[in-house]
Amino acid sequence: MSQDFVKLKFDDGIAIITISRPASLNALNSSVLAELDSAIAEVRESPAARALIITGEGSKAFVAGADIGEMADLTPDEAVAFSRRGQAVFSAIEHLPIPTIAAVNGYALGGGCELALACDIRISSENARFGQPEVGLGIIPGFGGTVRLPLAIGRSRAAYMILTGKLVSAKEAHEMGLVAEVVPLESLPSRAEELARELGAKSYVAVAYAKRMLFPDDEALAREARRFGQCFESGHPKEGMSAFLERRPAKFSD
């Protein structure tokens, strides 16, 4: 498969995946998801890889979410399948036996926040902003956010983020425990690599078992996908996403 949007490189035992679709703020469309899936498979099959870093291209966005243009016309069944697809790719990241670090270099919204949550540890640049803005689009987080966000920061803070859709700064995300460290943007790659080497030097047997103890409940992910699909039984996703693409406020009247 050609890797137009997802770059994978190996550097002395560290695998680095960069999501690279900057014109759309690295939003996850089907091609990006497929390429990410194949990059993860390559990492899984690389015996020399001791840690993985996932980051975004540029200085503006880590990943600004699932591709809104691609989601606008989904039927409820297609929406469930879309959610399950994203969940499967993110679970593949989570299930890697090696430690994973999200190096969040800008907006991590919707599917971007969920991608960061699928990694074991998040560090971010000072300009990063996190959010689950889906309710403003007429949908719910569908790539694991309703399950992993409360596990990461607790139900109360997760409810605040998911129900208001508000973005939080890197500083606030750090205070909430969503990110472990905040560093200047120019230091993010080197700090991520330093941390990856630190984690990669631990017992990989113990790390793999420790990670497994932290996996979320599969049934909760299945419930999320069903609820994500149910949103599309109403006209709200169409209105919310058209409004975003037309750069106008959404009106959820029916």
Which residues in this chain contact ligand COA in the complex, by CB under 6 A?
24-25, 27, 64-69, 107, 109-111, 133-134, 137
d(CA 200, CA 206): 11
In whole angstroms, give the CA distance from residue 44 to residue 173.
29
The answer to whether the Cα torsion of 133, 135, 138, 140 is positive or negative is positive
User: Nearer Cβ to ligand COA, position 66 or 74?
Assistant: 66
Residue whose CB is less far from ligand COA, 17 or 27: 27
Catalytic residue among 35, 114, 193, 239: 114
Least Å from the CB of residue 67 to ligand COA? 4
Give the nearer residue to ligand COA in terms of CB position, either 35 or 134.
Answer: 134
Residue closer to ligand COA, measured from CB, 185 or 208 = 185
Catalytic residue among 35, 134, 193, 224: 134
Rounded to whole angstroms, how far apart are CA atoms 200 and 79? 37
Q: How far is the CB of 168 from ligand COA (least distance, A)?
A: 13
In contact, 182 and 105? CB cutoff 8 Å: no
SS (H, E, C) 136-177: HHCCCCCCCHHHHHHHHHCHHHHHHHHHHCCCEEHHHHHHHC
What DSSP state is assigned to residue 134? G
Q: How far is the CB of 194 from ligand COA (least distance, A)?
A: 28
Give me the residue label for tokens 């670090």. 101
Q: Is 134 a catalytic residue?
A: yes
**Taking the complex as a whole, how short is the minimal distance between the CB of residue 28 and ligand COA, in angstroms?**
8
- Active site residue ranges: 114, 134
